[in-house]
């Protein structure tokens, strides 16, 4: 039986009294492209660093591909990690980076690395410090892909890129997943990018997992209901209200439903992935004081 790409049970990371991650339980199947979404400070980077073995948990357990993160050379070889600032060495040339990758990674594919650099139109002699932000991101991704990992972890790698560079980065990522059938966990604020490549979603808010699952299944089980204003107690069993808004005459609800919805007095609509994400972000965010809402 194939081990999950990532499995966490009661995973917690605490710094003093501050919880960076709280009681996180996940079981992400292998071979999926996972979109990890949440606002700043939600715990996304903490979760990814725990998965890569860069941090140790305060409580609970985490496994990547069935092993403890960074527990040995074999485990390290299975996991690739690209941090948010896409770290490269400014004084080293692209060729130097590739030689370093070959020296430190037993599964390294020099042919893959050189082919990607050629496709990007980069001069191997050029120093990383002279590259644009998009080019540095592509170099960091090349290093991660040429490692041939079974799990590739990307922490908001396109956050600072312009739309063209972002598109090229995502195109390269899709090529990698198609060729290598590896698992990918991609953290991003840009739901439109995730929608193109991800088939599994994790929403993390205020250090806690709000929802996780197959994108198609999640979209099939969530709806927008619009109709005459009514009390939530009047809804049938098996319907969980995620987000609600009301006017004097009308109610609009985002719901998760385990039972068929025949409409009745409500108009039933399907959600986009962005609708779904925003509903769970809104549900988990603390309500603002009344005086703030008028500003």
Tell me the DSSP string of 161-193.
Answer: --HHHHHHHHHHHHHHHHHH--EEEEE-S-HHH
pLDDT at 237: 76
pLDDT at 289: 46
pLDDT band at 165 (very low <50, low <70, confident <90, very high): confident
Q: What is the pLDDT of residues 224-259, one digit of tens each?
A: 998 888 777 677 778 889 998 888 889 899 999 887
Q: What is the pLDDT of residues 107-164, one digit of tens each?
A: 999 999 999 999 889 999 999 999 988 889 889 999 999 999 999 999 988 777 788 8
Q: Report which of 256, 291, 289 is spatially closest to residue 271, judged by C-alpha positions.
A: 256
How many CA atoms within 13 Å lie on the side-chain side of 190? 17
Residues 6 or more apart in contact with residue 286 via CB below 8 angstroms:
206
What is the overall mean pLDDT for the chain? 89
pLDDT at 87: 79
Q: Report which of 264, 265, 236 is spatially closest to residue 255, judged by C-alpha positions.
A: 236
pLDDT band at 263 (very low <50, low <70, confident <90, very high): low
Rounded Cα gap, residues 195 and 201, in angstroms: 10
Rounded Cα gap, residues 124 and 92, in angstroms: 10
Residue 214 has pLDDT above 60, yes or no: yes
Residue 293 has pLDDT above 60, yes or no: no
User: Which region among 63-72, 155-164, 194-203, 212-221 has the lowest average model confidence (pLDDT)?
Assistant: 155-164
Domain 6-214 class in CATH: alpha beta
**pTM, two decimal places:** 0.88
Residues 6 or more apart in contact with residue 46 via CB below 8 angstroms:
13, 20, 21, 55, 207
Q: What is the pLDDT of residues 33-69, one digit of tens each?
A: 999 999 988 999 999 999 999 999 999 999 999 999 9
């Amino acid at each position: 039986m194939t081990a999950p790409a990532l499995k966490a049970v009661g995973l917690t990371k605490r710094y003093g009294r501050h919880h960076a991650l709280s009681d996180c339980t996940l079981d992400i199947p292998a071979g999926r492209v996972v979109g990890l979404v949440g606002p700043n400070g939600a715990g996304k980077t903490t979760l990814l660093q725990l998965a890569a073995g860069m941090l140790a948990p305060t409580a609970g357990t985490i496994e990547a591909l069935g092993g403890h993160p960074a527990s040995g050379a074999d485990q390290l070889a299975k996991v690739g990690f690209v941090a948010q600032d896409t770290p490269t060495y400014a004084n080293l040339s692209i060729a130097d980076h590739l030689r370093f990758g070959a020296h430190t990674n037993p599964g390294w594919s020099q042919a893959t690395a050189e082919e990607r650099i050629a496709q990007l139109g980069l001069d191997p002699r050029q120093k990383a410090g002279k590259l644009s932000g998009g080019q540095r991101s592509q170099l960091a991704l090349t290093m991660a892909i040429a490692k041939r990992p079974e799990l590739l972890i990307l922490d908001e790698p396109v956050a600072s890129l312009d739309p063209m560079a972002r598109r090229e980065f995502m195109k390269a990522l899709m090529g990698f997943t198609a060729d290598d059938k590896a698992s990918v966990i991609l953290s991003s604020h840009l739901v439109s990018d995730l929608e193109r490549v991800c088939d599994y979603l994790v929403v993390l808010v205020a250090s806690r997992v709000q929802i996780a699952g197959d994108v198609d299944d999640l979209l099939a089980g969530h709806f927008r209901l619009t109709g005459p204003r009514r009390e939530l107690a009047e809804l049938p069993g098996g319907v969980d209200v995620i987000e609600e808004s009301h006017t004097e005459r009308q109610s609009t609800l985002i719901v998760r439903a385990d039972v068929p919805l025949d409409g009745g007095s409500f108009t039933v609509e399907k959600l986009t992935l962005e609708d779904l994400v925003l509903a769970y972000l809104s549900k988990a965010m603390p309500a603002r004081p009344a005086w703030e809402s008028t500003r």
